[in-house]
């Protein structure tokens, strides 16, 4: 059936009451319903989704023309009217458009047409339209997140390279354990960033399926070219099942899950920086413009930026839980509860991570490590116990578990005598070993092997260790991976931007 060329009645005058939107519900939304729900959500969609709605409507107008449902001229009129729709021209009016953005856009376009286009919006549903606009916005925000995470990772990576030879104590179970470097630690942070970039890239590719043309839930009656519409909107493929397209917002839960997991890791990194910045450690410093003061204790220099970063990461988990609980135990079909309420905090989640990454990137760019404080901490802690046990086994033939006992007893004895790690006592080690039935041949040589801080790093020979050369090798590999992922994310961002630009150029005002 073709309705191309039909004109119908003349366009309504501006002052004429708009035609009803439904014959089933004749009353307009109540003031309460408008104020509490419809108008706030309208503002949200205009602020975040309007460009996508306009792009989708242009693609649909073009498809109507291909199907012969509207004429080429009518499609051009629709395109010109859509081209002028912006935040200043669309308002939530409970009488004229039921405070719904789709109806508001429909009303606005109708008022701009030189004559009505009766077939416009035939065989259409808001369900797939809303799902498509939300998903397009989600893809864009994911691409932006990838770019910001790359910036953060780059800052971490640069600082790691600059500090990979500075000894510092590494801690396990809240106790000083072994000698590491800031660069080694930051290489681990960088590895987490790369891991997240890969996972977010997989998330992006997994959701890059166009819902448009799915209708209300069961598909549509006209032979819409869904592949063509998806291509025009910059999607890689079509969502194959109409029900999935309108029922599922699993992509919201998947996306917020990845943001939440990243937030957990970032909170742990921030916790370590807060510890290192405490007066007891004093390993790090930030410029005054990123610091805070105490109103009562003038001696204090606080790092509230780190507290803000850590505090905001908690919101990411909250937003994910909100998305999950908003969908849990709901029927698998199109629902306002799932399509709107369950995704209400997706944009705040992206905004929160954006803020966290901006702040953390600045911290990484401005952070300095106090080499002397870190070295002093290494020198006063017995961090060579593991190496001492190894040396007892490898050079003196002491069975490994017995070597552990002797090394631990030596540390206890040295502490009781007030001996720092830099003042080894070969007699003490000889005595402790003899008490346990072992006659050492060269106790001084064994102790000399483990007392030097720098050698404590360079004895680590396995790949991925804290040895400065091993860290340098990891950082080189990470550089190549950053380059690869940067190209991948740039391609995704370009696809999103090109898709929007292409759709908006269709049936333009020219």
Task: Tell me which of 31-40, 229-238, 288-297 is least confident.
Answer: 288-297
Q: What is the pLDDT of residues 83-124, one digit of tens each?
A: 888 888 888 988 888 889 999 999 999 999 999 999 999 999
Whether residue 133 is predicted with pLDDT greater than 90 in this model: the reply is yes
What is the spatial distance between Cα 450 and Cα 387, in angstroms, rounded to a whole number?
6
Segment 473-494 shows an average pLDDT of 96
The per-residue pLDDT for 498 is 84
209 band by pLDDT with thresholds 50, 70 and 90 = very high
Higher pLDDT, 90 or 185: 185
Whether residue 510 is predicted with pLDDT greater than 60 in this model: the reply is no
Whether residue 357 is predicted with pLDDT greater than 60 in this model: the reply is yes
Quickly count: other Cβ atoms within 10 Å of residue 105's Cβ. 23
17 band by pLDDT with thresholds 50, 70 and 90 = low
Segment 491-508 shows an average pLDDT of 83
14 band by pLDDT with thresholds 50, 70 and 90 = very low
DSSP 341: I
Whether residue 389 is predicted with pLDDT greater than 50 in this model: the reply is yes
3 band by pLDDT with thresholds 50, 70 and 90 = very low
The per-residue pLDDT for 95 is 86
Segment 432-444 shows an average pLDDT of 93
Spell out a b/e string for 196-207, using b for 16 or more CB atoms within 10 Å of the CB, else e.
bbeebbebbeeb
The per-residue pLDDT for 302 is 84
Full set of structural domains in the chain with CATH: 31-122 (no CATH), 128-369+470-490 (1.20.200.10), 385-450 (no CATH)
For 15-80, the three-class secondary structure string (H helix, E strand, C coil) is CCCCCCCCCCCCCCCCHHHHHHHHHHHHHHHHHHCHHHHHHHHHHHHHHHHHHCCCCHHHHHHHHH
The per-residue pLDDT for 7 is 39
β partners of residue 209: 237
449 band by pLDDT with thresholds 50, 70 and 90 = confident
The per-residue pLDDT for 19 is 63
The three-state secondary structure class of 114 is coil
């Amino acid at each position: 059936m073709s309705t191309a060329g039909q004109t119908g009645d003349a366009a309504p005058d501006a002052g004429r009451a708009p035609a009803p939107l439904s014959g089933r519900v004749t009353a307009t939304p109540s003031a309460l319903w408008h104020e509490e729900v419809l108008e706030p959500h309208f503002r949200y969609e205009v602020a975040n989704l309007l460009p996508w709605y306009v792009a989708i409507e242009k693609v649909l107008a073009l498809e109507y023309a291909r199907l012969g449902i509207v004429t080429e001229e009518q499609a051009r009129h629709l395109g010109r009217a859509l081209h002028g729709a912006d935040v200043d021209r669309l308002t939530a009016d409970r009488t004229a458009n039921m405070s719904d953005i789709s109806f508001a856009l429909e009303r606005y376009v109708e008022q701009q047409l030189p004559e009505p286009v009766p077939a416009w919006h035939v065989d259409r549903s808001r369900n797939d339209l809303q799902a498509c606009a939300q998903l397009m916005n989600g893809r864009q925000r994911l691409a932006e997140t990838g770019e910001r995470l790359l910036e953060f990772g780059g800052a971490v990576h640069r600082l790691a390279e600059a500090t990979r030879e500075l000894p510092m104590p590494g801690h396990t179970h809240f106790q000083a354990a072994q000698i590491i470097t800031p660069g080694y630690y930051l290489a681990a942070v960088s590895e987490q960033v790369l891991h997240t970039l890969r996972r977010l890239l997989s998330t992006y590719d997994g959701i890059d399926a166009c819902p448009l043309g799915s209708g209300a839930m069961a598909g549509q009656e006209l032979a819409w070219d869904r592949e063509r519409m998806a291509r025009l909107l910059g999607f890689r493929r079509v969502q194959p099942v109409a029900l999935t397209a309108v029922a599922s917002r699993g992509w919201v839960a998947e996306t917020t899950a990845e943001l939440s997991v990243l937030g957990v890791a970032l909170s742990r990194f921030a916790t370590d920086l807060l510890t290192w910045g405490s007066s007891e450690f004093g390993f790090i410093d930030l410029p005054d413009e990123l610091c805070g003061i105490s109103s009562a204790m003038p001696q204090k220099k606080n790092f509230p930026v780190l507290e803000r970063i850590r505090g905001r990461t908690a919101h990411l988990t909250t937003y994910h839980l909100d998305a999950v609980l908003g969908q849990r135990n709901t029927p698998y079909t199109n629902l306002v509860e799932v399509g709107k309420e369950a995704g209400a905090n997706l944009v705040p989640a992206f905004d929160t991570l954006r803020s966290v990454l901006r702040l953390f990137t600045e911290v990484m760019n401005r952070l300095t490590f106090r080499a002397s404080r870190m070295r002093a901490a290494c020198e006063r802690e017995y961090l060579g116990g593991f190496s001492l046990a190894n040396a007892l086994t490898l050079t003196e033939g002491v069975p490994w578990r017995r070597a552990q006992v002797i090394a631990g007893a030596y540390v206890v004895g040295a502490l009781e005598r007030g001996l720092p790690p830099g003042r080894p006592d070969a007699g003490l080690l000889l005595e402790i070993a003899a008490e346990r039935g072992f006659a050492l041949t060269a106790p001084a040589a064994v102790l000399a092997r483990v007392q030097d801080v720098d050698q404590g790093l360079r004895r680590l020979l396995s790949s991925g260790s804290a040895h400065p050369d091993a860290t340098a090798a990891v950082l080189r590999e990470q550089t190549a991976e950053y380059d690869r992922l940067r190209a991948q994310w740039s391609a995704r961002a370009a696809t999103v931007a090109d898709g929007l630009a292409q759709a908006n150029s269709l049936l333009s005002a020219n």
